[in-house]
Amino acid sequence: MVLSVENLSKSFGKTQVFSNISFSVNKGEIVCIRGKSGEGKTTLLRCITGLEIPDKGSIKINNMYLCKEKNNLIQYAQKEELQSIRQEIGLVFQAFNLFPHMNVMENLMEAAVFLKNDSVENIRTRAIKLLKRLDLEGKENSYPYQLSGGQKQRVAIARACMLNPSILCFDEPTSALDEQTRNQISKIIRDLSSQGMAIIIVTHDNGFVDEIAQRIITMKDRKITFE
């Protein structure tokens, strides 16, 4: 398995979002987490990707602990290991969160160049291949405001794939998309899954869940159930 979540709990003040939830995700698996608004789906995703700190429990990615509980406190991996673990999981935000002052190529290259794990030339080559794969050829110099919603989402997917993550997370990927673009995103997700990438999708779009999920997790009343 590429992801293991054990006994995870999260609260904001006196409001408990979820409590003692556990699940795992395997290589190449498409797992959808669904539930009504306010059930904690996005908060769970943010915990998995390291953007929120859980109160209790552990998160393990590729047998490395992102965080675990020790003496009733959450402890994260040491700095170098933490950076390595975080590169194993990508996130496509609901609002895409592209840098508005950067063009498409700069958006894709930014993180990889910052991490200095490869030459700029190799990073650019990888970005060009991703853009071609996602039908974005010719958009290298375009800025986010010049792109359609579907194009922005594909750029966000390409950016998340630049570090070759083992897991790719999507937060409400079909919101505000027309049917044609929705079908295009479905195809991209299936393609990534077929190449061994684990996919986690948070959504309240039950039609999309029924269409694409290999396994379904439902969040309700601070707990999860499996389908």
- pLDDT recorded at residue 180: 87
**pLDDT, mean of residues 82-88:** 92
In a domain, 143, yes or no: yes
Give the pLDDT of residue 211: 93
Give the other-Cβ count within 10 Å of 150's Cβ.
17
Q: Average pLDDT of 47-66?
A: 96
State residue 221's pLDDT score. 93
How, if at all, do strands 64-70 and 73-76 pair?
A: antiparallel
Contact 18, 35 (CB under 8 A): no
Number of domains in the chain: 1
pLDDT band per the 50, 70, 90 thresholds, residue 155: very high
Q: What share of the chain is helix, strand, coil (3-state, %, to 5)?
A: 35, 30, 35
Give residue 48's pLDDT: 96
177 — pLDDT class (breaks 50, 70, 90): confident
* Higher-scoring residue by pLDDT: 115, 165: 165
Backbone angles phi, psi at 65, to 5 degrees: -80, 115
Question: What is the structure's pLDDT at 178?
Answer: 84
pTM score, whole prediction: 0.94
Residue 211 inside a domain? The answer is: no
For residue 119, being part of any structural domain is answered with: yes
Whether the CB-CB separation of 7 and 56 falls below 8 Å is answered with yes
Q: Answer yes or no: is 112 within a domain.
A: yes
Distance CA(9)–CA(181), nearest Å, equals 35
Mean pLDDT of 189-215: 95
Closest to 127 in 3D by CA, of 108, 152, 107: 108
Q: 3-class SS at 60?
A: strand
Q: Are 151 and 203 in contact (CB under 8 A)?
A: no
pLDDT at 176 over 80: no
**pLDDT at position 108, please?**
97
On whether residue 135 sits in a domain, the answer given is yes
- Statement: residue 227 has pLDDT above 90: no
Through-space distance between the first and last CA atoms of the chain, rounded to whole angstroms: 18
Reported confidence tier of residue 87, pLDDT bands at 50, 70, 90: very high
In a domain, 122, yes or no: yes
Decide if 109 is inside a domain.
Answer: yes
Q: Which amino acid is at 210?
A: D
Q: Is residue 138 part of a domain?
A: yes
User: What is the pLDDT, as a whole number, of residue 80?
Assistant: 87
> 138 lies in which domain range?
100-164
pLDDT in tens, 123-136: 999 999 999 999 99
Q: What is the pLDDT of residue 4?
A: 98
